[in-house]
Amino acid sequence: MSGTTRIAGGLLAAALVIGVAGCGSSKSPTASGGEPATGTPTKGGTLTVLSNQDFSHLDPTRNWTMPHMDFGIRLLYRTLTTFKSEPGAAGAEVVPDMATDLGTPSQGGKVWKFTLKDGLKYEDGTPIVADDIKYNVERSFAPELPGGPNYAQVYLAGGDKYKGPLKGERLKSIETPDDKTIIFKLKRPVAEFSSTVTLPTFAPVPKAKEAGAQYDNRPFSSGPYKIETYDRGKELVLVRNEHWDPATDTVRKALPDKIVVKQGLRQSVIDDRLIDSRGDDENALTYSDVSAASLAKILPKPETRARLISEISGCTDMLGFNTTKAPFDDPKVRQAVHFALDKQALQTAEGGPDMAEIATAYLPPALSGGQAQDVYGLPQTGDVEKAKALLGGKTLDVGMTISTGDKLVGEAVQSSLKRVGINVTLNPVDPSVYYDTIGDTAKTPDMFIYGWCPDYPSGATFLPMIFDSRTIVEKGNSGNVWQFKDKAVDAKIDEIQAMTDGDAANKAWVELDKQIMEASPAVPFMWKKKPLLVGKGITGAYGHPVWSGQLDYATLGVKQK
């Protein structure tokens, strides 16, 4: 019951990343939008991944950050179902992975049964059994292993009391009658449970390999690669898992023999190395977003531009208000900001129209039938006169908290609101404390920046997560960080969630989007793309739409030398 704030979190938070990314129309002239980068895929070689950071968690129980989920699921562990390895909309399709099919619901979707394929093995050749998946799901309840997806805790019956398997207790609502069958008993019907089990929570962890928090450093592989060495923050080396059987796997191509992840590099250095693409860097690519300044070097040259992958991240960046306090408890003032905001300046700060599309609604286009909804119909630079009229000649002094990596965006907001007499004081805080500050309802600033990405393509993973007033908690609040309380919206959410017709539900979400836009608890301003550069020798590179535009590690290959 959460979207992937972390992703946006990642974008906003990473001080080391100068927040770029972009969002743009799929007509963009870069190599995005469907066509994998050129080259004939061949087996073998070493793929080098350059990153400015370490993975937050590779333990499947704790991995809940979009790009890291992609990396883990595509290379190290398999889940019951997963997303197709295809660019564009086709990639959003859920296909069986370890399971033989997408699961069989019964009792109106309250009970889900999955059957495992034959021939599934761990890196040491031992077979993967249903109980190992149950064990990993149980691990997500353990307070010793925090941070991972909490869907199991929210959906599974008896999840409120359970404290994880580390002290020997097991969860009754998951049954494994034999080694090939796993049955989940849920609290309420969940029509989309086939999509839920794409999350790394539903990967196998053998009990014998349990290492508590340190499992993070050496997850035991069920996927095509296994960890040879992992020096945290420095280097991760993956080699082939000889026991992985390609016959059981329809999504992972597993082309390179070896994958080396170099961590903790400076992003500008990564960008320069890949622009040059000399020697071993031919077979290298960036894990973290290319910086805005580097885009200025990449875009003018067709050769480098062709190697830039920029898939829509699927997330919406928003300017949020504290709706419980003056002056933003007044919807009129919030609307005035909506009118006053120069979204074009923000777009420039994100790298220009090729890299970022101006958002005109909360739901990203992929969730509103491929078409962006434009509720206000404003010019891109805002409507200063209308905003002034709404304010009625008042001038305001407000504070805005930003993460240090979001300085440019903050300054653009400040400069555009000044035009209508709203003086913004920027308070940059360390990324490490940013979400704590916003999530503490007693300290929520007047204005702040927040992003949301759906966990899988459905309006149900978006609007209820960020506008349902019943999810607000006093400390560590996330999702409804604006503390937006509207009974009518809550009721509407319940109504849509009970719908069985998917299309009708989708339409209803779009309607609700419009309804909330009018109350304006937040101003959506950007749909970004994820700008990633690959070396000259890389094949099969495209951004996967589900994992916020991160490269699909299932299909990457390198040129042989």
Partner 1 sequence: MIVYLAKRIAAVVGILLVICAVTFVIFYVVPSDPAIQACGKTCTPERVAEVRAQMGLDKPVWEQFGVYVVGIFAGRTLGAGIECGIPCFGFSYQNSLPVWDLLVDRLGTSVSLAIGAAVLWLIVGLTVGIISALRQGTALDRTLMIATLTSASLPVYFVAMLLLLFVVRIAEILPYPAYVELAEDPVAWASNLILPWFTLAALYAAMYARLSRAQMIETMSEPYIRTARAKGLPERTVVVKHGMRAAMTPIVTIFGMDLGGLLAGAMITETVFGLPGIGRLAYDGIVKADQPVILGTTLLAAFFIVIANLVVDLVYAVIDPRVRYS
Partner 2 sequence: MTALSTPETAPPVAPAATGRSPSRLIWDRIRRDRAAVFGMAIIVLFVVIAVTAPLLTMINGWSPYDFDPSAIDKKLAGVPKGILGGISAEHWLGVEPVSGRDIFSRVVYGAQISLLISVLAVIVSVLVGTVLGLLAGYFGGWIDAAISRVMDLLMSFPSLIFMIALISVMPDGNRILLLVAIMGGFGWPYIGRIVRGQAITVKHREYVDAARVGGAMGPSILFREMLPNITAPILVYATLAIPTNIGTEAALSFLGVGVRPPTASWGQMIQESMVWYEVDPMYFIIPGICLFLTVLAFTLFGDAMRDAIDPKGGRR
- List of residues contacting partner 2 (CB under 8 A): 15, 18, 20, 267-268, 272, 291-297, 299-300, 344-345, 347-349, 351-355, 404, 407-408, 410-412, 414-415, 426-430, 432-433
Q: Which is nearer to partner 1, 217 or 414 (CB)?
A: 217
* DSSP H or E run through 67: helix 66-75
Distances in Å between the Cα of 464 and the Cα atoms of 55, 112, 275, 323, 459 are: 28, 23, 42, 17, 8
Which residues in 165-194 contact partner 1 (CB under 8 A)? Answer: 166
* From 19, 431, 457, 524, residue interacting with partner 1 (rule: CB under 8 A): 431
Q: Choose the contact partner of 407 out of partner 1, partner 2, none; CB within 5 to 8 A by kind.
A: partner 2
Kindly state whether residue 163 participates in binding partner 1, applying the rule CB under 8 A.
Answer: yes
Q: Which is nearer to partner 2, 216 or 354 (CB)?
A: 354
Kindly state whether residue 15 participates in binding partner 1, applying the rule CB under 8 A.
Answer: yes
Which residues are registered as beta bridge partners of 39?
none
* DSSP H or E run through 75: helix 66-75
Backbone angles phi, psi at 68, to 5 degrees: -75, -30
Smallest distance from partner 1 to CB 118, Å: 34
Which residues in 389-408 contact partner 1 (CB under 8 A)? Answer: none
Window of 100-108, 271-279, 341-349, 525-533 that interacts with partner 1 by CB under 8 A: 271-279
Rounded Cα gap, residues 455 and 151, in angstroms = 11
Smallest distance from partner 2 to CB 337, Å: 17
* Crossing angle between the packed helical segments 66-75 and 5-13, to the nearest 10 degrees: 110
* From 214, 300, 487, 501, residue interacting with partner 1 (rule: CB under 8 A): 214
Smallest distance from partner 2 to CB 399, Å: 8
Rounded Cα gap, residues 259 and 48, in angstroms = 6
Smallest distance from partner 2 to CB 419, Å: 10
Listing DSSP states for 85-153 in one string gives: S-SGGGGG-EEESSBSSS-EEEGGGTEEEEEBPTT-B-TTSPBP-HHHHHHHHHHTT-TTS-SS--HHH
Q: Which is nearer to partner 2, 256 or 410 (CB)?
A: 410
β pairing state of 46-50 and 284-286: parallel
Rounded Cα gap, residues 511 and 505, in angstroms = 10
DSSP state of 59: S
Kindly state whether residue 148 participates in binding partner 1, applying the rule CB under 8 A.
Answer: yes
Kindly state whether residue 233 participates in binding partner 1, applying the rule CB under 8 A.
Answer: yes
Q: Where are the beta strands (DSSP E) in 210-302?
A: 225-231, 235-240, 258-262, 284-286
Smallest distance from partner 1 to CB 511, Å: 25
Footprint of partner 1 (CB under 8 A): 1-6, 9, 15-16, 52, 54, 56-57, 59, 62, 64, 142-148, 150, 153, 163, 166, 212-214, 216-217, 231-234, 262-266, 269, 272-273, 276, 278-279, 430-433, 435-437, 439, 465, 471, 473-476, 478-479
